[in-house]
Amino acid sequence: MNRSVAILCFAIFLAMDVFGQAQIEFRNTKHNFGEIEEEGGPVKYTFVFENTGDDTLKINNVRASCGCTTPAWTKQNILPGDTGYVIAQYNPFNRPGGFNKSLTVSTNAEKQVTTLQISGKVKPKPKGPKDDFPTPMGDLRVKYRALPLGNITNQGWLKRNLKFIIRVKRK
């Protein structure tokens, strides 16, 4: 008799655990920003989800795959039937070309980990004189802090070509 009661209690405990869980369901798990400007600043996308389970949902953590992506998310508990969000912000500065980044969402749901993905292509900023000649020396801008003259001897004339730009102040 005691064994039957123990088995029945164990079965009820298992049933309560199965039916009383939170479940997270995202409307979509991927977003493509398309082509974005490097100088346009950070871009954001909001992933919306719903708690389709029978228990309260809690997002424990959201981890980005690199430092160029910053996550933000619903901090309070999400009741069954309510919605929440995970925001992915990507900073394209100094990152021209294609990108494919991920965010790992950890929750107390039945499926504890969900991966979200963002992708796109960063159009590089136009190059100007400051990009080609980054080192200022007064009104002169040079490519390198030290000028590459090679070996200098007293055996004759030395000819080297140097590239630089000069800023002219107009009155």
Query: In the chain, which stretches have pLDDT less than 70?
Result: 1, 4-19, 147-148, 164-168, 171
Q: Is 140 helix (H, G, I), strand (E, B) or coil?
A: strand
Containing 131, the helix (H) or strand (E) segment is helix 129-132
pTM confidence score: 0.69
Q: What is the pLDDT of residue 1?
A: 61
Q: How many angstroms separate the CA atoms of 163 and 143, rounded?
A: 8
User: For residue 61, which phi and psi values (nearest 5 degrees)?
Assistant: -165, 150
Q: In whole angstroms, what is the distance from residue 52 CA to residue 109 CA? A: 10
b/e map 29-46, b = 16+ CB within 10 Å:
eebebeebebeeeebebe
Quick one: pLDDT at residue 35? 97
pLDDT, tens only, 91-107: 999 999 999 999 999 99
pLDDT value for 5: 61
What does the domain layout of the chain look like in residue ranges?
21-123, 127-171
pLDDT at 6: 60
The answer to whether residues 22 and 53 touch, using CB atoms and an 8 Å cutoff, is yes
Q: Which CATH class is domain 21-123?
A: mainly beta
For 71, the enclosing helix (H) or strand (E) is strand 69-73
